[in-house]
Amino acid sequence: MEHQFSMNFSDQKLLGLAWLAVAAINIVLICFDIYLAETLLFVFILHIITSGISIYLAISFMNIHKLSYVRIDEDILFIRPGIYPYEKEIPLVSLNKWVEKEGYLHIYYGDGKSAKIHRHQLSHYDFVQLREKLS
């Protein structure tokens, strides 16, 4: 069972466009650095690095709806905390309880460990289906 980030989560796309604007500004600055030829090498390299990071963040935020936010495979719950390339693994056997409050699904497992699933990052149908699977 796999649940993607909700398409209604348009703030992520807005962040992607903002990072794309930052990358465009950095590319313009790189062109000025090349044209002026008096810029320090450190500043030139800094513009290249920040434009690369900005492009990566823009693509990541604009494609976040394609990533799986919550997924259950072979009795293990995987939660992706955003655009980061790792997932938190929670064995369903060690699941103690879950509580829904303040727009989050708080999951308690193991020896006092906890995880949060943001309600607004899932569609209503996916959220209901996830609660049924955890029960």
Number of domains in the chain: 2
Q: Which two tokens stand for residue 132?
A: 């049924």
Check whether residue 43 and residue 84 sit in a common domain. no
pLDDT tens for the chain, residues 1 to 135: 555 666 555 677 777 788 888 888 888 888 877 777 666 777 778 888 888 888 888 887 777 777 677 888 878 888 887 777 777 888 888 888 888 888 888 888 878 888 888 877 777 787 788 787 777
pLDDT at 91: 81
Q: Which two tokens stand for residue 83?
A: 């655009």
Say if CB 104 and CB 111 are below 8 A apart: no
What pTM was estimated for this model as a whole? 0.62
* 3-state SS assignment for residue 38: coil
The domain that holds 73 is classified in CATH as 2.30.29
Of 49, 65, 81, the residue that ends a domain is 65
Of 49, 52, 70, the closest CA to residue 60 belongs to 52
Determine the Cα–Cα distance for residues 108 and 122; give it in Å rounded to an integer: 19
Host domain of residue 57: 2-65
Question: For residue 122, what are the contacts with CB-CB under 8 A and spacing of at least 6?
Answer: 3, 5, 6, 69, 70, 130
